[in-house]
Each structure stands twice: as structure tokens, then as C-alpha cells.
């Protein structure tokens, strides 16, 4: 059964290059280091609303986040979270003999055994994203991924996978859009 196309690649280009650096002045042998790199430019349109939202998240310059300021309180909160059955008020999974009671599906709530609330531990703020993975070009409602990257077998494999995904070929169990975005984020680690 064909699935809905989640993105459309509008443009891909790359340029390969080499840089040579002289060896160390103290070397007995005259050595030069040859370094291969490539410039990659990809423009695509996110078609489905879900994938578009994910791409917009990757293009933000400021990202909303939750942080904690007291490591001891956070540890006490996290390590004492328990699931309770909202109908009976009993803690789940404490006694493995009661497994029959949970087979039909139940409503649960996550609570801290010391009564610590999430709001007491976390505060919300924004973090600056200095190098967003994607650039959103609002005028055309497209996304751009570009940069200078190391030229190595890993990056060649990633670029090959991106090319295959743009043609609708995906050998994985995950969706095309998830694999596509994962490839872009992974390629971003190989920046030069």
C-alpha cells in the first residue's frame, strides 16, 4: 500500500574539493596532509503537517526547554516516581502477584512518593540554538540544509541514502520522513 509522500526534494547540489596542509616543520620527511571535503546544498518542501512541524522545530533559533536548578531535588523527584491505578489508588508493579488485575487496560497517573510536583522541580526557559540543522525560507515555505562536510565513506553513505529517499526508496522500517531528517541531522555531525 503506497503511503502519502511526506517531502519533496526540490534541489540537490554538491561540490567536492581538496585542501593540502604542509607537514610539521620538524618532520624529517617532507609530508603534506591531503584533506577532502564537500559542500552540500539541499532544498526540500515538507508536505505533511506533522513533518513540517518537525522541520520547523529543527529550524528554530530559540528552543523552549525545561530545566531544573536543584540536582538533589531532581534526583529525589525522578527516582521516586511511581505509577498508580487512578481507579484504586494502588501503586502499579510493586507486587508482581497482581498482574491479572492489569490485563484489561487501566487508567494510570504518575506521582512522586514524597509528594513532589513537577512544577516544584522544573522551570521553563529558552535555549539558543547556534547552528540550526535547517533553515526555513518562509517566502517559498521550503527548508534548506547546507554546509561544508568531511568527504569520507560515512558521508557518502548518508548522501546516497538521502538520494534514495528522495526517489521513494527506503530499506528501513521507519517512515521516509523520519529517515530523511535523521540523515540530515547525522550529516550535520560531519561538518567541516
Write down the pLDDT at residue 186: 96
Indicate if 100 and 52 belong to the same structural domain.
no
Residue 2 placed within a domain: no
Do 67 and 94 contact (CB within 8 A), yes or no? Answer: no
pLDDT band of residue 30 (cuts 50, 70, 90) is low
- Residue 142 pLDDT more than 90? yes
Assess whether pLDDT exceeds 50 at residue 1. Answer: no
Predicted local confidence at residue 47, as pLDDT: 96
Domain boundary among 100, 125, 150: 125
pLDDT at 40: 96
| pLDDT at site 18 | 86
Residue range 129-156: mean pLDDT, rounded: 95
Question: Of 125, 143, 161, which closes a domain?
Answer: 125
Quick one: 84 and 171 in the same domain?
no
Q: Say whether pLDDT at 23 is over 70.
A: no
> How much is the pTM?
0.72
What is d(CA 83, CA 79) in angstroms, rounded to the nearest whole number?
A: 12
Tens-digit pLDDT profile for residues 43-71: 999 999 999 999 999 999 998 999 999 99
Give me the chain's average pLDDT, please.
88
Do 43 and 84 lie in one domain? The reply is no
Q: Are residues 138 and 179 in the same domain?
A: yes
Neighbours of 8 (CB within 10 A): 12
pLDDT the model gives residue 99 = 54
Q: Does residue 119 fall inside a structural domain?
A: yes
The predicted pLDDT at position 31 comes to 66
Distances (CA, A) of 83 to 66, 77, 78, 86: 22, 13, 12, 9
| Whether residues 22 and 115 fall in one domain | no
For residue 102, the enclosing domain spans 67-125
What percent of the chain shows pLDDT beyond 90?
A: 64
Chain segment 174-190, per-residue pLDDT in tens: 999 999 999 999 999 99
Four-residue CA torsion sign, 5, 160, 54, 149? negative
d(CA 41, CA 6): 20
Measured distance CA(127)–CA(63) in Å, rounded: 5
Does 134 lie in the same domain as 56?
yes
Distance CA 149, CA 1 (A): 37
**Claim to verify: residue 77 and residue 111 sit in the same structural domain:** yes
Check pLDDT > 80 for residue 100: no
pLDDT for 20: 75
Distances in Å between the alpha carbon of 67 and those of 38, 62, 74, 97, 120?
A: 38, 15, 10, 38, 11
1 lies in some domain: no
32, pLDDT greater than 90: no
Number of structural domains (the chain) is: 2
pLDDT beyond 80 at 160: yes
Whole-angstrom distance, CA of residue 14 vs CA of residue 156: 11
Residues 56 and 139 in one domain: yes
Same domain for 18 and 45, yes or no, is yes
Looking at the structure, do residues 138 and 158 belong to the same domain, yes or no?
yes
Of 107, 125, 143, which closes a domain? 125
Amino acid at each position: 500500500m503506497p503511503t502519502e509522500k511526506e517531502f519533496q526534494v526540490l534541489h540537490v547540489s554538491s561540490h567536492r574539493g581538496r585542501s593540502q596542509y604542509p607537514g610539521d616543520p620538524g618532520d624529517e620527511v617532507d609530508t603534506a596532509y591531503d584533506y577532502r571535503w564537500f559542500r552540500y546544498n539541499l532544498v526540500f518542501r515538507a508536505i505533511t503537517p506533522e513533518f513540517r512541524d518537525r522541520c520547523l522545530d529543527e529550524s528554530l533559533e530559540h528552543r523552549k526547554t525545561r530545566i531544573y536548578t536543584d540536582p538533589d531535588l531532581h534526583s529525589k523527584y525522578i527516582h521516586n516516581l511511581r505509577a498508580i491505578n487512578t481507579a484504586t489508588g494502588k501503586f502499579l508493579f510493586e507486587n508482581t502477584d497482581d498482574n491479572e488485575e492489569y490485563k484489561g487496560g487501566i487508567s494510570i497517573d504518575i506521582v512522586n512518593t514524597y509528594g513532589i510536583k513537577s512544577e516544584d522541580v522544573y522551570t521553563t526557559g529558552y535555549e539558543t540554538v547556534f547552528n540550526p540543522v535547517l533553515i526555513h525560507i518562509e517566502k517559498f515555505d521550503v527548508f534548506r540544509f547546507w554546509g561544508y562536510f568531511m568527504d569520507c565513506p560515512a558521508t557518502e553513505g548518508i548522501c546516497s541514502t538521502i538520494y534514495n529517499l528522495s526517489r521513494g526508496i527506503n530499506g528501513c522500517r521507519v517512515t521516509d520522513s523520519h529517515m530523511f531528517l535523521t540523515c540530515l541531522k547525522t550529516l550535520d555531525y560531519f561538518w567541516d
